[in-house]
Amino acid sequence: MNQINKKHLWIFNHYAVAPDLPGGTRHFDFGKELVKRGYQVTIFAAGFNYLLRQELKLASHENWKLENVVGVNFVWLKTFPYQTNNWRRIINIVSYMIRAYRRKSLSAPRFIR
């Protein structure tokens, strides 16, 4: 199928992970199945892993990075680090929202979930 005619879906989930990281992979699994059905899928997730409480996907100089995992695109976003459920976690969530909004310049999807 021509890339321009593909159905394109964006999934926004702060805590989504690829299968190489600890955590639930339901968003990746869902995306992988949609790719098999002809969709182009992009998941916007934080590079900061909430289980390990550390940045796993981005170098210190990167604000975001695109990675393709078995046909599913991940846009890893730099977010504010935190260790406990205090005000720093709120800043983490807000930083995800701001960085996700700034990525709107990527090719627009037909669907957003």
In the chain, what are the domain boundaries? 3-112
Residue 74: band (very low, low, confident or very high) from pLDDT cuts 50, 70, 90: very high
CA distances 14 to 4, 33, 49, 77, Å, are: 27, 20, 10, 9
Q: Which amino acid is at 97?
A: M
Residue 81's CB is within 10 A of a number of other CB atoms, namely 14
CB-based contacts of 81, cutoff 8 Å, min separation 6: 48, 53, 54, 55, 88, 92
pTM beyond 0.85: no
Q: What is the mean pLDDT of residues 106-111?
A: 63
Q: According to the model, what pLDDT value does residue 22 have?
A: 82
